[in-house]
Amino acid sequence: MSNDLVVVRAALNLEDQAVRERLRSPRPHRHARGTRFEIGTLPGSQGRVVLGLTGKGNQASAVLAERAIQEFSPSALLFVGVAGALWDTPPLGDVVVATHVYAYHGGTSEDDGLKARPRLWEADHQIGQTAAHLARVGEWSRHGPPDHPLPQAHLGAIAAGEIVQNSRISREAEWIRQTYNDALAIEMEGAGVAQAGHLSGAPVAIVRGISDRADGTKATEADRKWQPIAAANAAVFALELATELIEAEPPTMYKDSDSSGSGSVTNTAHGSVGVQAGHVSGGTFHVSLTSSPPAPDDIPARLADLREELARERSVGRIDMETHEAASEEIDIASKGIEEATPESRKTSLLALKRLMGLLGDLASLAAKVASLITAVKGVS
């Protein structure tokens, strides 16, 4: 994982430009399949931002978000742009940061009506905490467009569907009001991005500026006026959030600092911990690792063992089905890369293992084995 880099994606040129004009020295980067990115530096920070367009819709956003995660292994993925407010608040120009995202079109049609079967993704805890702090302090709002009221940031649910919602009296509007009345804003990309982040183990933030009220006034003069203001405010908040996330000490069990398999690791643990050697400094325990990673010949066998242990964890309910499927896919990718034994395939294996680490971060024993495999793959010449 690149601890000094975040990916920022947007659906529209207007949204992309609002972010780009705040970056220092953006330069192009071209994916092997033709997707174009730009890499710039955060204002007032050494952190880097990878910027790119997805186009409209959850499907395109999911595919290209996953592509960006695989290409750059970012510390977080932020989706930034405009949205419609579902109710009379938040005001136009304010920013909504998703605490959770509804894919609200999920359902089943029966004789007595449509029954909701939504998908839902919750925001990463660290992202939620950081966003809430920025919203409380409010300093970010001073960097928005001049000559406009200072915007506020709101944390709440966002509904992401497959259509442009521009009515408060349509059948779809009534469905949303009855079933998702806690949602503050509505848009068309957040569910795809959230799914891509979940499957890849990358934390996701959805940051939306309110440009309209989804009430029949889209494409009016007022909408054209507020779109650039809302996009600019969302960009300002998102880059402040990116700066905070990059500058914060990552609270992960494994820190990818070198490939030697030894050194200093910052570790957060719960329960009783036995330690051979180490020291305490500033409330953080530093321990020198003495265990050896598996030898290159052992990597396929270790991956097979990891797959079996993953199945056991699923059978006892400590891993949900989606996480198990996503983790199994990453093991397949890593195994294939090791089997092919080329420099490019080893890179693919390494990225798969890093994504696997993100998926299994809550299971210490499995994450430790993945960390050992990462070290071993790095050591393969």
State residue 128's pLDDT score.
95
User: Rg of the chain over CA atoms, in angstroms?
Assistant: 22
The answer to whether 92 and 210 have CB atoms below 8 angstroms apart is yes
Average pLDDT of span 170-183:
89
Could you tell me the pTM of the whole model?
0.66
State residue 286's pLDDT score.
43
> What is the C-alpha to C-alpha distance for residues 379 and 381, in angstroms, rounded to an integer?
6
> What is the C-alpha to C-alpha distance for residues 46 and 43, in angstroms, rounded to an integer?
8
State residue 46's pLDDT score.
81
Nearest-10 Cα torsion for 61, 4, 202, 283:
-150
Could you tell me the pLDDT band of residue 87, with boundaries at 50, 70 and 90?
confident
Among 194, 202, 299, 263, which residue's Cα sits nearest to residue 1? Answer: 202
At residue 115, what is the residue type? K
Using DSSP bridges, classify how beta strands 183-187 and 204-212 pair: parallel, antiparallel or unpaired: unpaired
Average pLDDT of span 18-42:
94
Q: What is the DSSP string of 233-277?
A: HHHHHHHHHHHHHHHSPP--S-----SSS-SEEE----S----SS
Greatest Cα-to-Cα distance within the chain, rounded to the nearest angstrom: 68
State residue 294's pLDDT score.
60
> What is the C-alpha to C-alpha distance for residues 292 and 288, in angstroms, rounded to an integer?
12
